[in-house]
Structure 1
Amino acid sequence: MSSTVQKYFEKYGMAVLETIGAGVLTYGLFYLMALCFVDCDLELAFYSIFGKSPRKLKGKVVFITGASSGIGEHTAKALAKHGVRLVLTARRQSELERVKIECLHLSKNQLSDKDILVIPFDITDLSAHKRVFQQALNHFGTVHVLVNNAGRSQRALFEYIDMSVDKQMFDLNVFAVVNLTRIAINHFNEKGSGHVAVVSSLAGVFGAPYSATYTATKHAIHGYFDALRIEKMDKNIAVTLLCPGPTLTNFLQESFTERDGQKYGIPADRKDRRMTGERCGQLCAIALANRTQESWMGLFPMMPFVYTAVYFPTISKMALGLLGPRRLFKMRDSKDIQFDQGKRKL
């Protein structure tokens, strides 16, 4: 090092390093504070203010599974407000018809009866997938976006889960999603563009206690769709993982337990700390319009918790050790875990 450079460094080097350090600290503090005031990751929060509106999808055809209730229903409504044409699928035709009527009303005459196609079918019947997707193609001529929403959660103790429950949950939450997606991808390959999304969960980002099978299905979904995204990154086919946290829908009451054929049966309470279904649907619509890769959603403290789990795993492990599984569960469900109406204790 020359004497001139050395003198320059001695004079200004420390000031430069201090400036960089102060900038990094300021950025970190701003980031941390921002996470305390948003109900989604910062990318999605930015898009919700400055990004593309769901009206960008006006006239496009969006195929939604599990559209008769919950996040699927609210996503359909959020899109209908902007004139997005819809294919609504689920098992219950009467509920699908109800959602269709409400979507038409919300569209304020942007959509007509023929712009919303209702197809009742069981998503776990893989043999019906091609027929149903072809029915949508016959009606609209194309599909622009597939939203895999159908699925169920779980509340159970790991050691008591029957293997038949594991198989049923993977059939519904994973294999049905993968099979329908492959059919859609073949269509997108032919037309040269497309967008496939799946409603995963924050449980797909980190482990959730007392929901082992559900967590496993969502981690599997992330593996499948992360691989798909890389394969299609040069094919104009977008892949989006939508990851809601606790949401006020009927999912909790319908959740699997440890036993075959049993439902958790405990409804979510409006007093619980959960994101509304309407807000979740709106955020999902924004994520679709902006073709995000992965979007997290949840009320405080979910966002700081998820960011810490992903980017600061050592701190996360320490926090989990202090919280324990029951407190973490209560933060998620706003109530203590319950099994068999209290007969099985933790």
Structure 2
Amino acid sequence: MFFTVIGVGVFCYGVFYSILLCLLDCDLQLAFYEKFGKSVRRLQGKVVFITGASSGIGEHTAIALAKHGIKLVLTARRQAELERVKQICITSSGGKLTNNDVLVLPMDLLDFNSHKKVFDLAVQHFGQIDILFNNAGRSQRANWEHIDMTVDKELFDLDVFSVINLTRIAIKYFSTKGYGHVAVNSSIAGVVGAPYSGTYCGAKHAIHGYYNSLRTEKLGTDLQLTVSVICPGPTFSNFLQESFTGTAGQKYGNTTVSTDRRMTGERCGQLCAVTLANKINECWLGVFPLIPFVYVAVYFPVIRDIVLKVFGPKRLFKLRDSKDIDLSEVQAI
């Protein structure tokens, strides 16, 4: 009787857990913290440094933070777009932020020598930086064996090495304070390898390796460092259009349409803000059926392998991009 009760309890728990995964657009930990955790407004008075803030997830995260009066450093290459985002942030704050509370600093992340200068300007302006959110990056669509090594190097420079360089600058600064928070916008592709994005998946897996190592290394030290890895799935932005291919200097060029199964930029930005407020180590974001698939892929590898064989790479690609793959578009020219 005792074991029967336990068995029924485990079965009911499994059913309830599975239903939740099908209803949510993020993992269960993040969903719990959004409902019962710290409000984003707890970050009021803090300063968040955001890269890639001129569009997409970076822009919407900035707006989500601004609504609660969090001071912002907005960086990207396009100053005009940064100024646009700044005005939206000030308006969205409902009077909580003034012109002086949102700092625009144009920066090319591939100019590694400029990173410290820009970061120091932000510290000089506000007197502090509390959170670094490495959001900038580009995706990729390409047939694995046709990728030119130049593309591998260019994508890693942007998506990995620029992130690591800026993060090291931030950690040296945080070490003088004794505490800090570094976050990075990774991808579900950094958790589960996606087809036709070999270099991008490699870059995001590298980010996980760097950041997980950093988190472990700082445990029990004098530096109280929070390390967050945020993993969005497909999101409405210009990310797909700007993606690398297998050929250096070429952009993928495909755009999203309103019927695609993607998370909105607003929703993704809100969940990023919740992650920062609650100091979550790692989180997964995505519309159904992405989150259940990731749980299966991570926790049930045998089932994952069966699913991958049944669906095949082309159907998985369609799940990701809401369109069929055209190999002529992704192989090197």
Matched residue SS, 1:238: strand
Match of 2:312 in 1: 324
Query: What is the rounded CA distance, in whole Å, between the counterparts of 1:228 and 1:341 in structure 2?
Result: 38
Q: 1:121 aligns with which of 91, 107, 121?
A: 107
Query: What is the rounded CA distance, in whole Å, between the counterparts of 1:208 and 1:44 in structure 2?
Result: 23
Match of 1:315 in 2: 303
Match of 2:144 in 1: 158
Task: Please show how residues 43-192 of structure 1 align to structure 2 within 5 Å.
Answer: 43-192=29-178
Task: Write the letter of the residue equivalent to 2:214.
Answer: L
Matched residue SS, 2:155: helix
Task: Write the letter of the residue equivalent to 1:292.
Answer: I
- Determine which structure has more spread, i.e. the larger CA radius of gyration: 1
- Tell me, yes or no, if the aligned pair for 1:197 and 1:241 is still in contact at 8 Å: yes
TM-score (norm 1): 0.94
- Tell me, yes or no, if the aligned pair for 2:61 and 2:269 is still in contact at 8 Å: yes
Match of 1:23 in 2: 9
Matched residue SS, 1:274: coil
Q: Does 1:269 align with 2:257?
A: yes
- Tell me, yes or no, if the aligned pair for 2:62 and 2:72 is still in contact at 8 Å: yes
Q: Residue by residue, what CA displacement relative to the aligned partner does 1:145-204 show, whole Å, maximum 9, x if unpaired?
A: 000001000000001100000000000000000000000001111101110000000000
Query: What is the rounded CA distance, in whole Å, between the counterparts of 2:142 and 2:209 in structure 1?
Result: 24
- Tell me, yes or no, if the aligned pair for 2:246 and 2:331 is still in contact at 8 Å: no
Give how far 1:338 is off: 2.8
Q: Residue by residue, what CA displacement relative to the aligned partner does 1:241-263 show, whole Å, maximum 9, x if unpaired?
A: 00000101110000000000000
Task: Write the letter of the residue equivalent to 2:228.
Answer: T
Match of 1:284 in 2: 272
Query: What is the rounded CA distance, in whole Å, between the counterparts of 1:67 and 1:339 in structure 2?
Result: 32
- Tell me, yes or no, if the aligned pair for 2:51 and 2:58 is still in contact at 8 Å: yes
Sequence identity percentage? 62
1:108–1:19: structure 2 CA closer, same or farther, 3 Å change rule? same
Q: Residue by residue, what CA displacement relative to the aligned partner does 1:56-88 show, whole Å, maximum 9, x if unpaired?
A: 101100000000001000000000000000000
Q: 1:254 aligns with which of 226, 230, 242?
A: 242
Task: Write the letter of the residue equivalent to 2:69.
Answer: G
Give how far 1:233 is off: 2.7
TM-score (norm 2): 0.97
Query: What is the rounded CA distance, in whole Å, between the counterparts of 1:339 and 1:22 in structure 2?
Result: 48
Match of 1:236 in 2: 224
Query: What is the rounded CA distance, in whole Å, between the counterparts of 1:60 and 1:276 in structure 2?
Result: 26
Matched residue SS, 1:251: coil
Match of 1:3 in 2: none
- Tell me, yes or no, if the aligned pair for 1:201 and 1:245 is still in contact at 8 Å: yes
Give how far 1:21 is off: 1.5
1:196–1:319: structure 2 CA closer, same or farther, 3 Å change rule? same
Match of 2:233 in 1: 245
Q: 1:208 aligns with which of 175, 180, 194?
A: 194
Aligned length, in residue pairs: 331
- Tell me, yes or no, if the aligned pair for 2:54 and 2:81 is still in contact at 8 Å: yes
Task: Write the letter of the residue equivalent to 1:19.
Answer: V
Gaps in structure 1 of 5+ consecutive residues: 1-14
